[in-house]
Amino acid sequence: MEITVIGTGNMGSGFVKQFAAAGHRVRVTGRDLAKAQALAAAHPGAAAFPAAEALGEASVVVVATAYADAVPALRSLGDLGGRIVVDVTNPLTADYMGLEIGHDTSAAEEIARAVPGAEVVKAFNTVFAQVLAEGPAFADGQTVPVFYAGDGVRGKQTVRVLAESAGFKAVDAGGLRNARYLEPLAGLNIYFGYGAGQGTQIAPTWISRD
What is the mean predicted confidence (pLDDT) over 125-141? 95
pLDDT at residue 97 above 90?
A: no
Q: What is the pLDDT of residue 169?
A: 97
CATH fold of 2-195 reads Rossmann fold (3.40.50)
Residue 96 reports pLDDT greater than 90: no
How would DSSP label each residue in 41-52? HTSTTEEE--GG
Query: What mean pLDDT do residues 17-32 have?
Result: 97
Q: Are 147 and 86 in contact (CB under 8 A)?
A: no
pLDDT in tens, 159-174: 999 999 999 999 999 9
135-154 pLDDT, tens digit per residue, is 999 988 899 999 999 999 99
Spatial separation of the C-alpha atoms in residues 106 and 94, rounded to whole Å: 17
**pTM: predicted TM-score of the whole model, two decimal places:** 0.96
Domain ranges of the chain: 2-195
Q: How confident is the model at residue 25 (pLDDT cuts 50, 70, 90)?
A: very high
For residue 122, the model assigns a pLDDT of 98
Overall average pLDDT of the 171-194 stretch: 97
Say how far apart CA 8 and CA 1 lie, in whole Å.
20
Q: Which pLDDT score is estimated for 132? A: 98
DSSP state of 98: S
Q: What is the pLDDT of residue 13?
A: 98
